[in-house]
Structure 1
Amino acid sequence: MSLRISIFPLTGAILFPELQLPLHIFEPRYRAMVGDALARDRLIGMIQPTDEIEGAPLYDVGCIGKIDDVETSEDGRYNIVLTGQSRFRLIRELEVSTPFRQAEVELIEEPAEEYLTLGERASFEHESRKFADSQGYSIDWDSVARLDDVSLINGVSQIAPFDSAAKQALLEAPDLRTRCDLLVQLMEFFGKSDPDDDRVTLQ
């Protein structure tokens, strides 16, 4: 199934199905995009550009979000909350007259009833604690323990302080176990960095 959607290319921001992403919309072209979405189906495709230059090519995979909450300021800015609907694969970007970009995409069918084994879950939580401690993060681990496997892995993938390429790899992972394994590897790698230093080293 393919469809045409408005896309919001934003470096470092990814969205997963069933999760939420708050956004502050202030650029005129994206205010136009939100206004258009609100007048139609409330859907926006979140996708990362491959570079931060204007009009950069897009990565192959993004996620459609539905505007579930919106606040409008007097100067026309929006505060919105997107709820992820489905990951998609980019077919082609369209030539359009709108100030915002649009694309033809195909939806990605998600694997059904994904879960981790008890050992996989325990290993992931152990590595998460090590990473949080190394970076100085304060985490409510009791709340973490109550999350189901999909919400935990996808939630960490969405908010983790990794670079855009790493976050894109997490979004493109074909299933939960692959994403979990990749998250552990990334936490081991990025956990070696100084939280007060932008550099990441393997030593």
Structure 2
Amino acid sequence: MSFTDRYRTTADLPGTIPVFPLAGAILLPRGQLPLNIFEPRYLKMIDDAIRGDRIVGMVQPDGDEAILASQIDGRKPPLCATGCAGRVTSFAETGDGRMVITLTGICRFVLGPELPAMTPYRQFEVDWDAFADDLTPGHGQDEVSRERLLEILKEYLDTHGLQADWRAIKLSSNETLVNSLCTISPYGPREKQALLEAKTLEDRNQMLIALTEQALRELSPGDATVQ
């Protein structure tokens, strides 16, 4: 049984969670997101999560001004309405006071009201119901256009002179492949948020393909062989 198999219905998930706002980073169901935690407020959040249910919500600041405000003076930025919760499945403390953790995605959520919490980090009520299918491993993966995704991935890697572990890719399920590529994709916060909010796995796959095709066109308008 995997770490996230214990969450079978939305009733197994908490009604309130701590959130970690981070631009350009998304977590997806059963995907993994490594994080290097060094700010005191988020070190406290992870400490509390480890002592509790180990659940943390990843969410992006909403808009460039919000991101800038949070970076400059620590103001609370407005947040995107949709995020994804993960379970802390590994953690290690470093000699310089940081914490290196891995979050494994559980389910997306819609933010509700913010709690008037006394903690240095933010906490919100959340609604899971719109994304209940996230709790079913592999939901919708039979509809994924895997061949086209692999074609565009190979073209992108070849164009940038990059290598991939094709054996591991071949063994990956459609869900793992699509969500992993979305998580590590080089696209900006708005594009990452759109990938997160995609209704189905195939919707996310098609969006990732389109973003990659566009990136190739912009890189080499006369040479990219995009179908």
| Shared fold per TM-score greater than 0.5 | yes
95 and 137 in structure 1: CA distance in 2 versus 1, 3 angstrom threshold: farther
Which residue is 1:173 aligned to?
198
Of the three residues 118, 142, 157, the one matched with 2:167 is: 142
CA distance in 2, matches of 1:164, 1:58: 12
Give a deviation string over 1:122-161, Cα, whole Å, max 9, x none.
1111111112222332112222122111111111111100
Range with greater deviation from structure 2 (1-10 or 18-27): 1-10
Please state whether the residue corresponding to 1:157 is helix, strand or coil: helix
Equivalent residue number for residue 33 of structure 1? 45
1:115 to 141, 148, 155: 141
One-letter amino acid of the counterpart of residue 121, structure 2: F
5+ long unaligned stretches in structure 2: 1-9, 71-75, 221-227
Once residues 102 and 151 of structure 2 are traced to their aligned partners in structure 1, the CA distance between those partners, rounded to angstroms, is 31
Answer yes or no: is 1:164 the counterpart of 2:195.
Answer: no
Equivalent position of 1:68 in the other structure: 89
Any residues of structure 2 matched to 1:1-203 within 5 Å, and which? Answer: 3-50=15-62, 51-52=66-67, 53-54=69-70, 55-107=76-128, 108-110=131-133, 113-116=139-142, 120-194=145-219
Q: How far apart, in 2, do the equivalents of 1:106 and 1:39 lie?
A: 23
**Residue pair 2:82, 2:110 contacting (<8 A) in 1 also:** yes
Q: Aligned equivalents of 1:153 and 1:74: distance in 2?
A: 35
SS at match of 1:192: helix
SS at match of 1:14: coil
Looking at structure 2, the residues matched to 135 and 91 of structure 1 have their Cα atoms a distance apart, in angstroms, of 41
Q: Is the 8 A contact 2:34 2:102 kept in 1?
A: yes
Cα shift at 1:174 = 0.5
Deviation of 1:117 after TM superposition, in Å, equals 5.0
Q: Which runs of 5+ in 1 are unaligned?
A: 196-203
Aligned equivalents of 2:114, 2:159: Cα separation in 1: 41
Q: Provide the C-alpha distance between the structure 1 equivalents of 2:26 and 2:208, rounded to a whole number of angstroms.
A: 15
**Matched residues in 1 for 2:31 and 2:51: separation?**
23
2:23–2:189 contact (8 Å) kept in structure 1: yes
Give distance in 1, aligned partners of 2:44 and 2:143.
45
CA distance in 2, matches of 1:43, 1:62: 13
The Cα of 1:93 is off from its aligned counterpart by 2.2
Q: Which amino acid aligns with 1:44?
A: V
More strand by share: 1
Partner of 2:141: helix, strand, or coil? coil
Q: Is the Cα–Cα contact under 8 Å of residues 143 and 202 in structure 2 kept in the other structure?
A: no
- Structure 1 residue runs of 4 or more that deviate by more than 3 Å after TM superposition: 192-195
**What is the DSSP-based 3-state SS (H/G/I as helix, E as strand, rest coil) of the residue aligned with 1:137?**
coil
How far 1:97 sits from its partner (Å)? 1.8
Contact 1:135 1:191 in 2 (8 A): no
The residue type paired with residue 149 of structure 1 is: N
Q: Give the paired residue count.
A: 194
The secondary structure found in structure 2 opposite 1:66 is strand
Which one-letter code corresponds to 1:37 in the other structure?
A
SS at match of 2:172: coil
In the alignment, is the contact (CA less than 8 A) between 2:35 and 2:101 conserved in 1? yes
Between the aligned partners of 1:156 and 1:30, the Cα distance in structure 2 is 26
